[in-house]
Homo-oligomer: A and B are copies of this chain.
Amino acid sequence: MPSQLEGAMGALITVFYNYSGNEGDKHKLNKGELKELLHSELTDFLTSQKDPMVVEKIMNDLDSNKDNEVDFNEFVVLVAALTVACNDFFQEQSKNKK
């Protein structure tokens, strides 16, 4: 049985390949695949964003080597940033409660 942390790391890899495998390079997300991943996996995050260009902006920010695709390393940077943002939010909430 994997530990909770190993399970989470495995899930990141599984989610990425579930979408990257659809079209073109199977190890990279193109814009359509990234959009689908964000819509299906981070629905609440995406609907809370008012900016209609949000997927394009995320793509541009993540695609550090400018090949118009997001590889796994670039994807992990997104997940890390979002998780840190979530954690900051909850820390702030718990401070306000005290």
Chain A interface residues (CB < 8 Å from chain B): 3-9, 11-16, 27, 37, 40-43, 72-73, 76-77, 79-80, 82-84, 86-87, 90-91
Contacts of A9 in B (CB 8 A): 8, 79, 82-83, 86
Q: Is the CB of B84 within 8 A of A72?
A: yes
**Chain B nearest Cβ from A62, distance in angstroms:** 13
What are the 6 A-B residue pairs with the smallest beta carbon separation, nearest first? A5-B41, A8-B11, A8-B8, A3-B41, A9-B83, A76-B80
Given A72-B87, A76-B84, A87-B72, verify A4-B15 contact (CB < 8 Å): yes
Q: Is the CB of B13 within 8 A of A4?
A: no
